[in-house]
A and B are shown apart, each in its own frame.
Chain A
């Protein structure tokens, strides 16, 4: 498991750089497998402590089991949990039927932007991985966002060796991506290796279906799978040629490119 340790060492280094350089830092936690591994890595980096708040942008459409899991871990691991919600958009009746990109933008992107603005965070740690989809493959470990939270992917600052962009003009913020080099299989291998608690929605519980990627209930569909254990998931992933986010409706067409340019995770 040497390659997992190498990935861990790099992610821990990035997390510690983030903690050192940003006075107002927070980590996004969606309770999915990736951001939960990220949370675990933070506990590794800071020796059992998580010295910054965990943000959950609640769209109100999440699968209920995710919220239960969130509150249980927050208690057990003594986490500083901050939940944000775009209440205005929800009150106006925003849902996926008004357009998936519009819904994601309102409830997730804008929900996050509101939270960042309200709390004045200057560094946001996220669990995105380069192998998830095309736009994420272009990310830096430390990725600047402008005053509107937008990402200028055409003109990204250089990132050399282990030196990252940690200075930024007032009003802008930096997205920090410690999991960029991890693949989906690495995430599951690490969950098994470290015995990290995860939501059982990822496992088949007898109906021949499981979730491969978790999001909002209306826009996330389970895949056909009989994987009942982490080992079975890893085995399945080694044979699959189906994209991880194929069950995520917002990725269709140019969805993710448009979303991420405007500041989506």
Chain B
């Protein structure tokens, strides 16, 4: 008989995990049957199938909708069921415990706000019990109730229960997870599921149903500093709407937002909504929203909007804890895609620091691969800088997945930033850009006026490879075509702006590169296509190019590497010219690249990385 339930006012996602055969499906079946939550005929239908197959009825069968599963006796994939109890709707995710199906357990647990973790009283704490406990902590499921099942098989003995409770609490303690409660039950016989057991007078704590009621709905994220990852930019009508979901904090009309990693900023002009009267003026964590800005700044998917006083980190390198589910092992040196909030970027494994054995939390050093179902501590490096947070500070912007070819093959959390040589320049650029005092004429207006965007074309390479000649040629061709281009000649800086620098030592060269980058940044703001070479830096051109790139970020930089014979070009090179060259042809290729990157209006071939709103 179904009990009439109050209309639910909130939803709570619960995952049930544990070793295979420890009784997850039975627990669920019992919970539903004992709270009168089953549809009419469901019990009878399953009982009929059991009779047909000559099997004894079990509560577990209720949830194993696929006949294949009943034959194998294991839950193959994450199944969701619903039930309502005392004004709350529970979405119960039954996650499989079989080792091969760890990816399904993880998929299930990643959606959950709280977990029931089952341990078989007869078998005790198993490898999977520990692995699941470890993964729950890694996935950020903080509310955990441990359910010790099959107490009937150990004669409802308190000493057996106490032993398991102690062993498992000690294990979780190492992960800094404190279970909300540990409950002795028999799911099969209904002890301590929905009603109190008469067989275990020594247990005074909650039943499973009471434990569910005691789980809290997390609501604190609205009080955190703002994090608003940009999901997309829409222009379906006159409005240019920045769409996305607030993962932390709140925003309202008039707020000043800064975007990372592009370092741009603007004020919220409106919060847009369909079928909402009156229009909203604010939004809070969890909401999928759209806003317009008071300025036409170019931002794209993947950036994180925040307030200036609490910005996310930006880097290309960070340390992570990762679990790997891929068909092939995770390898150093292979290219993967990293996805963090809405940012998608190429990445590779810079170092495998440790492999963690989840059964005893023992750690093994190094190695060059992470196998399927292993957990590891890694250092990742992305191709371009991304904005993120350490996981302990922000959940949604502190976790990521790795895509190998077509599939999500792993995931994890960011533990800390790895310091790199670009860090100081990057911080300087961020501080400078966030505080940048703008005139009335914005970059979009300038681009419209000039018919192209600002960019840097940087020619790198050893001395005497034709860099200056090509740079002059390119400037001439661009200007002849009506573009606004300017040759930034290093020699002119050396004798003027850099006259106070020694120029021969490392510190002098670093400072020269910094000033060079800042001058290029100013010229970018004027809307020019800056054509330049690394001639002034001699052999140290690769480091200088990197510094200039960091300082003018996010303006497009086209790096052209020149050499007398074929040689390896520095990272991030766009075009390479080796050996004798046809300079007219070379200039033409660079102009094609400018079009491809969306700098010149008539973008041809490929998808421009810079989208025009002009």
A positions within 8 Å CB-CB of B:
2-3, 5-10, 12-13, 16-17, 19-20, 43-49, 51, 130-131, 133-135, 137-138, 140, 153-154, 156-163, 165, 167-169, 180-181, 183, 194, 234, 238-243, 246, 254, 257
Contact = CB atoms under 8 A, between A and B. Distances in A.
Nearest to B341: A162
Contacts of A9: 245, 286-288
A238 B4 contact: yes
Nearest to B8: A3
A26 to B, nearest CB: 17
Given A131-B82, A194-B275, A2 B10 contact: yes
B77 A138 contact: yes
Interface stretch (B184-192, B233-241, B571-579): B233-241
A243 B39 contact: yes
Contacts of B68: 154
B274 A138 contact: no
Interface in B272-287: 272-275, 286-287
Interface in B331-361: 339, 341
B473 interface: no
B286 A181 contact: no
Interface stretch (B197-205, B251-259, B405-413): B405-413
> Closest 7 interchain pairs by CB?
A134-B65, A12-B288, A241-B40, A158-B103, A130-B80, A49-B236, A137-B79
16 contacts: A20-B231, A45-B243, A49-B237, A131-B81, A138-B76, A140-B107, A153-B66, A154-B77, A156-B104, A158-B106, A158-B407, A161-B110, A168-B406, A181-B11, A238-B5, A241-B38
Contacts of B133: none
B288 A157 contact: no
Given A3-B9, A241-B38, A257-B65, A47 B107 contact: no
A178 to B, nearest CB: 11
B231 A16 contact: yes
> Which of B38, B82, B341 has its CB near the most chain A CB atoms (within 10 A)?
B82
A257 to B, nearest CB: 6
Contacts of B403: 167
B408 A163 contact: yes
Contact of B65 (A44, A135, A161): A135
Contacts of B301: 20
Contact of B408 (A160, A169, A180, A238): A160
A26 B275 CA distance: 23
A157 B290 CA distance: 30
B67 interface: yes
Given A13-B288, A242-B39, A246-B41, 15 more contacts: A3-B9, A6-B286, A20-B232, A45-B243, A47-B236, A47-B241, A130-B81, A138-B76, A153-B66, A157-B407, A158-B325, A158-B408, A160-B107, A238-B7, A242-B40
A243 B79 contact: no
A90 B79 CA distance: 36
A140 B104 CA distance: 10
Given A48-B274, A238-B4, A243-B39, A158 B107 contact: yes
B330 to A, nearest CB: 14
B82 A183 contact: yes
B22 interface: no
Given A13-B245, A159-B110, A47 B290 contact: yes
A49 B275 CA distance: 12
Contact of A47 (B2, B10, B272): B272
Contacts of A153: 66, 76-77
Interface residues of B, number: 63
Interface in B399-431: 399, 401, 403, 405-409, 411
Contacts of B76: 138, 153-154
A182 to B, nearest CB: 10
A204 B422 CA distance: 69
B39 to A, nearest CB: 5
A165 to B, nearest CB: 6
Nearest to B75: A138
Contacts of B39: 241-243
Contact of B231 (A13, A160, A181): A13
Given A156-B104, A254-B67, A7 B11 contact: yes
B166 interface: no
B70 to A, nearest CB: 11
A45 to B, nearest CB: 7
A176 to B, nearest CB: 15
B89 interface: yes
B495 interface: no
Contacts of A241: 2, 38-40
Contacts of B325: 158
Contact of B4 (A45, A156, A194, A239): A239
B78 interface: yes
Interface in B1-31: 2, 4-5, 7-11
Interface in B244-303: 245, 272-275, 286-288, 290, 301
A16 B288 contact: yes
A18 to B, nearest CB: 11
Nearest to B236: A49
A47 B274 contact: yes
A162 B399 CA distance: 10
Nearest to A163: B401
Contacts of A7: 11
Nearest to B407: A157
B107 A3 contact: no
A6 B91 CA distance: 13
Contacts of B10: 2-3
A10 B111 CA distance: 12
Nearest to A1: B9
A44 B66 contact: no
A16 B232 contact: yes
Contacts of B111: 161
A181 B112 CA distance: 12
Nearest to B408: A158
B396 interface: yes
Given A6-B286, A16-B288, A163-B401, A46 B234 contact: yes
Nearest to A9: B288
Given A3-B89, A6-B11, A49-B237, A137 B80 contact: yes
A51 B234 CA distance: 10
A16 B241 CA distance: 13
Contacts of B4: 238-239
B51 interface: no
B227 to A, nearest CB: 13
Contacts of A239: 2, 4
Nearest to A50: B236
Contacts of B55: none
Contacts of B409: 158
B77 A156 contact: yes
B536 to A, nearest CB: 43
B216 interface: no
A110 B11 CA distance: 37
A34 to B, nearest CB: 15
A144 to B, nearest CB: 8
Nearest to A153: B77
B372 to A, nearest CB: 11
Nearest to A17: B231
